[in-house]
């Protein structure tokens, strides 16, 4: 006689809460992630918040994606990359990090607005289509496990998984780990940010074979000075990756960079 294993009570309650969440998704109207107005369809932002968001497009720095006012040619670098070429090959972002996009990003990060991940990932698939076309593996910037517990989800991992579904490129959400809990980067200058995240990341040993000779697309929500993605890139290249590109939802644009 075959034994039928009874599901554990925690498995049952997990399944129930998943079911409740799925039903709630169907019943609750979707709200604009920036202002809270009810929106039609799958979008993340309402019609009045859209025009305020400043989308990034060409011409831009061939390396870091810094937007140029004039076209300097496809291989042109910004002053910062010319001085100090990044370890990653190309970084691209969907929109500017400014007053218009800040609220949306904070809500996505801290307010359980995980429902907008597919809409944001759709925009990233557009902005990063050249990068995705060559990527072997999508890897998110990890959170330290203590911060993950407090926040319950890693917004960059959600973007990576949604992007993987759209683009058909494998995602490895647990390939990198944050081995050191670093203080928040907020309010720190470029050099301090670099020191803050130096040596904070590692490739999980069991994931190492998956990384060998792969072209990685690294995912984060915001690119500020690039210190975090540079530290992750260094770790990925040391771990055997062939090359690393970076795709973020938003990017800080400082006028001084050009």
- Strands (DSSP E) found in the chain: 91-96, 137-140, 176-178, 201-203, 215-223, 243-251
DSSP 144: P
By DSSP bridging, strand 91-96 and strand 176-178 are unpaired
Output the smallest distance, CB 168 to Zn ion, in A: 29
- Spatial distance between the Cα atoms of 171 and 169, rounded to a whole number of angstroms: 6
| 66 contributes a contact to Zn ion by CB under 5 A | yes
Name 202's Cβ contacts closer than 8 Å, sequence gap at least 6: 176, 177, 179, 235
Complete DSSP assignment for 173-196: TTSEEE-S-PPP-TT--HHHHHHH
Residues 75-134 that bind Zn ion (CB under 5 A): 78, 81
Is 34 or 230 the residue whose CB approaches Zn ion more closely?
Answer: 34
Q: Residue 229, interface with Zn ion (CB under 5 A)?
A: no
Q: Applying CB under 5 A, does 176 fall inside the site for Zn ion?
A: no
Quick note: the x/- pattern for Zn ion over 33-62, rule CB under 5 A, is -xx-x--------x--x-----------x-
Q: How far is the CB of 81 from Zn ion (least distance, A)?
A: 3
Interaction of residue 63 with Zn ion, rule CB under 5 A: yes
Considering the complex, state which of residue 3 and residue 74 has its C-beta at the smaller distance from Zn ion: 74
* Binding residues with Zn ion: total (CB under 5 A): 12
Nearest to 136 by CA among 175, 108, 102: 175
String of contacts with Zn ion for each residue 1-40, x by CB under 5 A: -------------------------------x-xx-x---
> Is the backbone of residue 187 left (phi > 0), alpha (psi -120 to 50) or beta?
left
For Zn ion, the binding residues (CB under 5 A) are: 32, 34-35, 37, 46, 49, 61, 63-64, 66, 78, 81
């Amino acid at each position: 006689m075959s034994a039928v294993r009874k599901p554990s009570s925690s498995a049952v309650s997990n399944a129930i809460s998943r079911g409740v969440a799925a039903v709630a998704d169907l019943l609750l109207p979707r709200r604009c992630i920036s202002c809270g107005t009810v929106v039609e369809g799958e979008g993340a932002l309402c019609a009045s918040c859209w025009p305020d968001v400043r989308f990034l497009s060409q011409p831009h720095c061939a390396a870091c994606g810094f937007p140029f006012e004039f076209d300097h040619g496809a291989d042109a670098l910004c002053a910062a990359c010319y001085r100090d070429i990044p370890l990653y090959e190309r970084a691209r972002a969907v929109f500017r990090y400014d007053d218009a996009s800040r609220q949306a990003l904070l809500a996505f990060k801290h307010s359980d607005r995980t429902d907008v991940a597919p809409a944001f990932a759709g925009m990233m698939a557009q902005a990063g289509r050249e990068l995705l076309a060559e990527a072997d593996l999508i890897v998110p910037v990890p959170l330290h496990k203590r911060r993950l517990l407090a926040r319950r989800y890693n917004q960059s991992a959600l973007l990576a998984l949604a992007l993987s579904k759209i683009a058909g490129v494998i995602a490895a959400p647990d390939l990198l780990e944050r081995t050191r809990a670093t203080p928040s980067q907020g309010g720190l200058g470029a050099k301090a940010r670099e020191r803050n995240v130096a040596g904070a990341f590692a490739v999980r040993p069991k994931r190492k074979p998956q990384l060998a000779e792969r072209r990685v697309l690294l995912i984060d929500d915001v690119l500020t000075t690039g210190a975090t993605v540079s530290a992750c890139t260094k770790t990925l290249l040391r771990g055997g990756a062939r090359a690393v590109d970076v795709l973020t939802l938003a990017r800080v644009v400082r006028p001084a960079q050009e």
